[in-house]
Amino acid sequence: MPRRILLGDECVALGAVHAGVSSAYAYPGTPATEILEYLLEFRRRHGRPFAAWCANEKTAMEEALGACFVGRRALVSMKHVGLNVAADPFVNAALVGTHGGLVVAVADDPGMHSSQNEQDSRFYADFARVLCLEPATQQEAYDMTAAAFDLSERFAVPVMLRLVTRLAHSRTAIEVAAEPRPENPVRKALRPQSWILLPSHARRQWHDLLGRQQEMVAWSEDCRWNRLTLNPDDRELGVITTGLARNYFEENARELASRPSHLHIGAYPLPLALIRRLAGQVKRLLVFEEGYPLVERLLRGLLDTPLPILGKLTGEVPLEGELTPDNVRPALGLPARPLTNPGDLALPTRPPQLCQGCSHGHMYHALKQALAGQAQSTVTADIGCYTLGALPPYDAIESCVCMGASVGMAKGASEAGFRPAVAVIGDSTFLHSGLTPLLDAVHEDADMTLIILDNETTAMTGGQESIAPSARLKDIVLGLGVDPGHLHVVEVLPRRVPQIAELLRGEFAHPGLSVVIAVRECLETARRRRKLVEVKPS
Amino acid sequence: MKIDIMLAGVGGQGVLSLAALIGRAAVAEGLHVKQSEVHGMAQRGGAVLSHLRLSDQVIASDLIPLGTADLILSMEPLESLRYLAYLSPTATVVTSVDPFINIPDYPPKEEILARLRRLPRAVLVEAERLAREAGDVLSRNTVMVGAAAHLLPLRRESFDGAIRQTFEAKGERALEMNFAAFEAGWRVSA
């Protein structure tokens, strides 16, 4: 079999291609971005499969669902919080009985390297009553993606592929198939009514889905990713690992006096019989899972005998952050590794920051000048590079909650009696989730000022093209009904900072909705674009 | 045989390109390689760390355990000191001496270098000067790989192959410069 060096994310992308995927959709989000980036490049070179960025994760999920609706295989990928945005189509996609395989690749970010929370997507799979596969290695990421399409068609449900940062962004060599499977032909569902979730149909579909749960568990019991290794000579401890936790357990296992019986879970729903067999052999269970204590919680209701279960809920394993080869040691009874060099010099931290000369910085200077002298003010903000405006030297924003929240929160604060209320959002985030709250603000002519920082790209995730070009942004805002007299487009240049501040001051005084679009191309994107032009044959 | 390397630097310095060069050379020798990277918010001018593991056995964890790394290879002197807790008793620090100052409380350079010189095994590399002499200041990453190459169980030809693989598409001049940069780094620890 051919070998390739790939990032975990790229293994998912190539696994999908080799499984005959026809369509792939996504919105950029760390650590999932590289899945679609790989597929876009693949499409550029080979013409297939169809791959495209979308306005947000919900539209991506729905577009993927449309491909499955006509019998094709589709992949949708996102970061964990993106699944919150796409939760509505995801949960309902479990009911329609899809005949084209739908794989939902979700990359969680335990430890919050680049995220607002560390929610565990496996709960969504459990909630929607669908299969979930959790790779522990890049090879598994590739193999499981390919298998996920077959499973999706076999059980007529979307299949979640749950990744985490350390797998998504780790590179290694894997073996890949020599020949890709052909794509599915276009074919509508045999029972089209299953897609019409009217209550009468939905009740039947729900009943069917519940009926398939036993088959899914039966599959899980002897699937190759759930492996039970019993040690009849050691009846003390049984270890359960999920996902990457297996690697950290293995990294330490050779130091144990005796290797405990071990069940690794890579596929859900939980393999109940395997768990009971393990529990029947040992006096205590220890659970290592990357993310929330999902298995640990479920176990407490599953076992026939009351067995001590140790893990995140009982404090043996850290409840917060990601697992490491070091923080699993205490639970295994291993001492911390001796540190020869603890590092005695107090080092200043080096947090991420806006690039030198970034227009967001100029805009924050203008904003602070404009707000100077106000007895009070508030600036809600959003998710992107400009969130770094929360840090010194800017200290310019006061909130970052979820995509688009800046707009609705400024409206809510204003209507609760606070002024001036200012919202700051990037162009890509605005197009992702800022349009609908702006409609609300237009409807009430809310007393607030919205600043759209238009750097003409999705900068934080590596400069993906925004779903609408910068030139159309003004018309989009006007189309939502914003008063043209209080809509301004300004070019952000350092020398114009005082004028921009003056303009903002005027709009803060206006007792209604104002929108300022501050335009300046991202430095990084511009640099990359120049580079592309340079390498083009002269 | 296993070699665990902590690659350090500041976002934008090309830490991942260091990892890619060494990784390619290791793969050419049939070794198992795992390389954990940093993407997204952490890359924006912040401290960047990549775990690179080479072994003739299957590698379990993508992360290197504390107290076990064989080498810190750093593009920046302050950053090289951030991960000392990962070092094994016999490990070496190989770092560029060129500070990247984008924080207000950056310590005096001499203080950092003095701290590095007190380590049992440290190789301080004037990467920028050597890269400029090789023809392009941007080849400092290749200088650093050259400086660390003695400490890695990989043949010189494997590095040459990796350099060729990486820079061939950029033209003959880029390729020559990077060979020169590697050689300059190599001579630092020779």
Sheet order of strands, A159-164 included: A50-53, A23-26, A74-79, A102-108, A159-164, A132-133, A267-268
Please give the Cα distance from A313 to A317 (Å, whole number): 8
Whether residues A173 and B27 touch (CB distance < 8 A) is answered with yes
Domains (ranges, CATH) in chain B? Answer: 2-189 (3.40.920.10)
**Which pairing describes strands A267-268 and A378-380: parallel, antiparallel, or unpaired?**
unpaired
Both tokens assigned to A426 = 């990037």
- A114 part of contact set with chain B, CB < 8 Å: yes
Q: Residue B122: which residues within 8 A CB-CB, separation 6 or more?
A: B92, B93, B94, B95, B116
Please give the Cα distance from A54 to A284 (Å, whole number): 48
Instruction: Choose among A139, A123, A133: nearest CA to A101.
Output: A133
Please determine, for residue B24, whether its predicted confidence score (pLDDT) is greater than 90: yes
Q: Which residues of B touch A532 (CB under 8 A)?
A: none
What is the per-residue pLDDT for A538? 42
Write the residue in B37, B44, B65 that is nearest to A171 by C-beta.
Answer: B37
Fold topology of A359-526: Rossmann fold (3.40.50)
> A382-396, A520-534, B2-16, B21-35 — which is least confidently predicted?
A520-534
| Owner of token pair 């329609």 | A96
Q: What distance lies between CA A291 and its chain's CA centroid? A: 14
Q: DSSP state, B81? A: T
Whether residues B119 and A341 touch (CB distance < 8 A) is answered with yes
What is the per-residue pLDDT for A178? 87
Between positions 233 and 262 of A, the ones with CB within 8 A of B are 244, 246-248, 250-251
Please give the Cα distance from A420 to A414 (Å, whole number): 7
Q: Which residues of B touch A356 (CB under 8 A)?
A: 102
Distance from CA of A387 to the nearest CA of B (A): 10
Q: Which residues of A touch B62 (CB under 8 A)?
A: 166-167, 170, 244, 247
Please give the Cα distance from A12 to A143 (Å, whole number): 8
Both tokens assigned to A121 = 């997507």
Q: Which residues of B touch A461 (CB under 8 A)?
A: 40
Distance from CA of B12 to the nearest CA of A (A): 10
Whether residues A354 and B45 touch (CB distance < 8 A) is answered with yes
Whether residues A349 and B87 touch (CB distance < 8 A) is answered with no
What is the per-residue pLDDT for B41? 65
- A324 part of contact set with chain B, CB < 8 Å: yes
**Interface with chain B: mutation pick from A250, A259, A345, A360, highest number of B CBs within 10 Å:** A345
Q: Which residues of B touch A350 (CB under 8 A)?
A: 10, 45-47, 78-79, 102-103
Same fold, A3-221 and A359-526: yes
CATH no. of A227-332: 3.40.50.920
Please give the Cα distance from A486 to A515 (Å, whole number): 6
Q: Which residues of A touch B107 (CB under 8 A)?
A: 345, 347-348
Share of chain B above pLDDT 90, in %: 91
Both tokens assigned to B40 = 């997204």
Whether residues B60 and A345 touch (CB distance < 8 A) is answered with no
Distance from CA of A45 to the nearest CA of B (A): 17
Whether residues A5 and B33 touch (CB distance < 8 A) is answered with yes
| Owner of token pair 């080096």 | A350
What mean pLDDT value characterizes chain B? Answer: 94
Between positions 464 and 523 of A, the ones with CB within 8 A of B are none
Which secondary structure element, helix H or strand E, spans residue B44, and what is its range? none
Is residue A63 within 8 Å of A36, Cβ to Cβ?
A: no
Write the residue in A244, A342, A461 that is nearest to B40 by C-beta.
Answer: A461
Please give the Cα distance from A515 to A500 (Å, whole number): 13
Please report the ipTM that was assigned to this predicted complex.
0.94
- A224 part of contact set with chain B, CB < 8 Å: no
Which phi and psi (to 5°) does residue A501 adopt? -60, -40
Write the residue in B36, B62, B85 that is nearest to A339 by C-beta.
Answer: B85
What is the per-residue pLDDT for A307? 92
What is the per-residue pLDDT for B156? 96
Instruction: Choose among A500, A356, A83: nearest CA to B101.
Output: A356
Question: DSSP for A181-205?
Answer: PPPPPP---SSGGGG---HHHHHHH
Residue A404 gets the label, from left (phi > 0), alpha (psi -120 to 50) or beta, of left
Whether residues A353 and B45 touch (CB distance < 8 A) is answered with yes
Whether residues A171 and B119 touch (CB distance < 8 A) is answered with no
Q: Chain A residue closest to B112 (CA)? A: A345
Handedness of CA A278, A283, A288, A293 (dihedral sign): positive
Q: DSSP state, B60? A: -
Whether residues B39 and A342 touch (CB distance < 8 A) is answered with no
pTM score: 0.96
pLDDT by position in tens, chain A (length 538): 678 899 999 999 999 999 999 999 999 999 999 999 999 999 999 999 999 999 999 999 999 999 999 999 999 999 999 999 999 999 999 999 999 999 999 999 999 999 999 999 999 999 999 999 999 999 999 999 999 999 999 999 999 999 999 999 999 999 999 899 999 999 998 887 999 999 999 999 999 999 999 999 999 999 999 999 999 999 999 999 999 999 999 999 999 999 999 999 999 999 999 999 999 999 999 999 999 999 999 998 877 778 999 999 999 999 999 999 999 999 999 999 988 776 656 899 998 889 989 999 999 999 999 999 999 999 999 999 999 999 999 999 999 999 999 999 999 999 999 999 999 999 999 999 999 999 999 999 999 999 999 999 999 998 999 999 999 999 999 999 999 999 999 999 999 999 999 999 999 999 999 999 999 999 989 988 887 776 555 4
Is residue B7 within 8 Å of B19, Cβ to Cβ?
A: yes
Q: How many CB atoms are located within 10 Å of the residue A491 CB? A: 12
Please give the Cα distance from A210 to A218 (Å, whole number): 14
Q: Chain B residue closest to A459 (CA)? A: B40
| Amino acid symbol at A508 | F
Q: Which residues of B touch A169 (CB under 8 A)?
A: 36-39
In chain A, where are the structural domains located?
A: 3-221, 227-332, 359-526
Number of H helices, E strands in chain A: 19, 19
Whether residues B61 and A250 touch (CB distance < 8 A) is answered with yes
Q: Does residue A538 or residue B65 have the better pLDDT? A: B65
Q: Which residues of B touch A5 (CB under 8 A)?
A: 23-24, 27, 33
Whether residues B34 and A171 touch (CB distance < 8 A) is answered with yes
CATH no. of A3-221: 3.40.50.970
Whether residues B37 and A324 touch (CB distance < 8 A) is answered with no
Cis check: omega of the bond before A110, within 30 degrees of 0: no
Number of inter-chain CB pairs under 8 A, A vs B: 140
| Owner of token pair 């407490």 | A300
Question: DSSP for A426-474?
Answer: EHHHIIIIIHHHHHHHHHHT-SEEEEEEE-SSBTTTT-BPPSS-HHHHH
Please determine, for residue B51, whether its predicted confidence score (pLDDT) is greater than 80: yes
Q: Which residues of A touch B23 (CB under 8 A)?
A: 5, 171
| Amino acid symbol at A250 | E
What is the per-residue pLDDT for A428? 97
| b/e code B109-136 from CB counts within 10 Å (16+ = b) | eeebbebbeebeebbbbbbeebbbebeb
- A343 part of contact set with chain B, CB < 8 Å: yes
Both tokens assigned to A90 = 């995801």
- Three-state secondary structure call for residue A33: helix
- A532 part of contact set with chain B, CB < 8 Å: no
What is the per-residue pLDDT for B144? 98
| b/e code B79-89 from CB counts within 10 Å (16+ = b) | bbbbbbbbbbe
- A361 part of contact set with chain B, CB < 8 Å: no
Which phi and psi (to 5°) does residue A207 adopt? -60, -45
The pairs formed by A472-476 with CB atoms below 8 angstroms and a separation of 24 or more are A473/A427, A473/A430, A473/A517, A474/A517, A476/A431, A476/A435
Both tokens assigned to A170 = 């780790």
Which residues are bridge partners to A3 per DSSP? Answer: A175
What is the per-residue pLDDT for B42? 61
